[in-house]
Amino acid sequence: MKEKISLPYKLVKAYFRLMINGFYYRRYYSLDVENIPADGTPVVMVANHQNCLNDALGVLLAVNDRKMRFIARADAFTIHPLFRKFILWVGLRPAFRMMHQGEEQLGRNQETFHLSEKDILAGHTLLLYPEAGHQTRHWLGFYSHGYLRMAFEAAAQENFQKEIFILPSCNHYSKYQGLRNDMLVRFGKPLSLKPYYELYQTRPRTAWRQVNELVRARIRELMLDIQDLSHYDEIDFLRRGAFGMDFARSLGKDPDRLPEKLEADKELVARIDASEMPFEDIRALREDIQSLGLEDRQFEKKPGLAAVIGEALLLLLTLPLAIFAIWPAVPCWVIPQHFSHKMEDNMFEGTFLLPIDVLLIIPLGFLATVLIEWHWLGAWSLVHGFALPLLCIFEWYWTRLALRLRADFRYLKAGKRAQDLKERRAALFMNLRKNLFHGKTRTDR
């Protein structure tokens, strides 16, 4: 049956949608939402795990007609009592793992499993990440069978009379760290467990294994899965830079639109896997570019002295606004980093940056700005308060332009070394284009 969603929940979700779409991400995509079964249908949604809490928030925004349930790492519930109350209210439940909480805490999972099975039978949507931990790269890890054990156990409680679905989905990012990146959530075709009920009753592990293989294969089709981890950095260097953008255009894809770039990247990785690649040459080129502090874009269009002067003048002219935007930009960046650095895992950067900024710093900054400035500015203090997210965005782009200027100055300073790298890069990419640009696509094979 459908669940009634409270007004506070709707308001918080609407606020998150506004801030995530307008402030945190440059673009957010939710694709194939029509594949999600109607509310009231027992659904266990599973996905690749790419970016901690941001994955769950991305799915939360894509699903409009229901309150989601999530199973998340138990240590997220120990950050702060207020944060614990909030994530419990949103729908998160703790999963205790040996590597994080120790063997003595594993028994506490039974309560989470019991509540989750009740949610499934009540027709709610439960989201899990079977990799049992986020990845730091675009690849799909091992899937445990816990989500299937839970789903089949729920079916057994109803004597296998209720049909339960597994919904594969994927999360994908243009970049993991920082603001103004792109995010994509995509949903695959739901898989009914009903055809496996009979097998499960006699050979449960075989049923788990068969369904898990199907689910994992469907998620692999949705996402970018770079399995050649020994050459991951070289493949990533190609796909993220100008070479990958040119490859996308050769397929008729727009590299600035994440869904199209994802499809092009999947095709590029497939062709790389099927080709003899000069990985040593690619690695040497990438490391030499990085050692000089240069960027791939500079070899496509050399930054001239006039361009560098123009960038410097633009930074200088906008410096007063950049100084004005220090509030609230610096707190919005520094405070979340303080917490994320304690986790010793840079993938938690977005997990703290997004909720802390959206739930605490920006709302409290709005109140503080209005209260302090009202005496002098009156209603104009409201304008300043509402502009705080825009000032953060401006500060982010101003800082990026400053870093771009620094890289362009390094390019000019490198002189002949930069020119030699450009020639090496051009020769290498020419050979790669011959091998990779003119092959058949996967749909043509």
Q: Do 114 and 184 reside in the same domain of the chain?
A: yes
Whether 362 is covered by a domain: the verdict is yes
Whether 251 is covered by a domain: the verdict is yes
Q: Do 92 and 195 reside in the same domain of the chain?
A: yes
Q: Do 242 and 323 reside in the same domain of the chain?
A: no
Whether 440 is covered by a domain: the verdict is no
Mean pLDDT for the chain?
A: 91
Cβ–Cβ < 8 Å for 172, 262? yes
- Which residues lie below 8 Å from residue 98, measured CB to CB, with a gap of 6+? 106
Q: Where among 177, 195, 222 does a domain terminate?
A: 222
The reported pLDDT for the residue numbered 100 is 59
- Give the residue numbers spanning the domain of 382: 318-414
Whether 437 is covered by a domain: the verdict is no
Can you tell me the mean pLDDT for 32-55? Answer: 92
Whether 443 is covered by a domain: the verdict is no
Whether 1 is covered by a domain: the verdict is no
Q: Do 128 and 259 reside in the same domain of the chain?
A: no
Cβ–Cβ < 8 Å for 151, 114? no
Q: Do 270 and 394 reside in the same domain of the chain?
A: no
Can you tell me the mean pLDDT for 136-158? Answer: 93
What is the percentage of the chain residues whose pLDDT exceeds 90?
68
Whether 313 is covered by a domain: the verdict is no
**Residue 445 predicted with pLDDT over 50:** no
Q: What is the CA radius of gyration of the chain?
A: 25
Q: Do 63 and 195 reside in the same domain of the chain?
A: yes
**Residue 394 predicted with pLDDT over 80:** yes
Q: Which tokens go with 142?
A: 């091992």
Q: Where among 201, 222, 243 does a domain terminate?
A: 222
Q: Which tokens go with 183?
A: 């995010």
- Whole-number Å distance between alpha carbons of 262 and 224: 7
**Residue 102 predicted with pLDDT over 80:** no
> What is residue 104's DSSP assignment?
G
The tens digit of pLDDT for each residue in 241-297 reads 999 999 999 999 999 999 999 999 999 999 999 999 999 999 999 999 999 999 999
Residue 339's closest CA among 357, 363, 325, 366?
Answer: 357
The tens digit of pLDDT for each residue in 347-385 reads 778 888 888 898 889 999 999 999 999 999 999 999 999
Q: What is the largest CA-CA distance in the chain?
A: 76
**Residue 1 predicted with pLDDT over 70:** no
C-beta pairs of 111-115 under 8 Å, 24+ apart in sequence: 112/71, 113/150, 113/153
| Three-state secondary structure call for residue 13 | helix
Q: Do 211 and 189 reside in the same domain of the chain?
A: yes
* Of residues 362 and 99, more confidently modeled: 362
- Whole-number Å distance between alpha carbons of 93 and 310: 52
Q: Where among 161, 191, 222 does a domain terminate?
A: 222
Q: Do 44 and 88 reside in the same domain of the chain?
A: yes
Can you tell me the mean pLDDT for 170-195? Answer: 95
Q: What is the domain-level CATH number for residue 173?
A: 3.40.1130.10
Q: Do 52 and 123 reside in the same domain of the chain?
A: yes
Residue 192 φ then ψ, to 5°: -80, 135
* Of residues 65 and 41, more confidently modeled: 41
Structural domain count of the chain: 3
Can you tell me the mean pLDDT for 308-316? Answer: 96
Q: Do 54 and 86 reside in the same domain of the chain?
A: yes
Can you give the length of the chain in residues? 445
- Whole-number Å distance between alpha carbons of 242 and 246: 6
Whether 309 is covered by a domain: the verdict is no
Q: Do 156 and 249 reside in the same domain of the chain?
A: no
Of the pLDDT bands very low, low, confident and very high (cuts 50, 70, 90), residue 340 is: confident
The tens digit of pLDDT for each residue in 113-124 reads 888 899 899 998
Q: Do 169 and 62 reside in the same domain of the chain?
A: yes
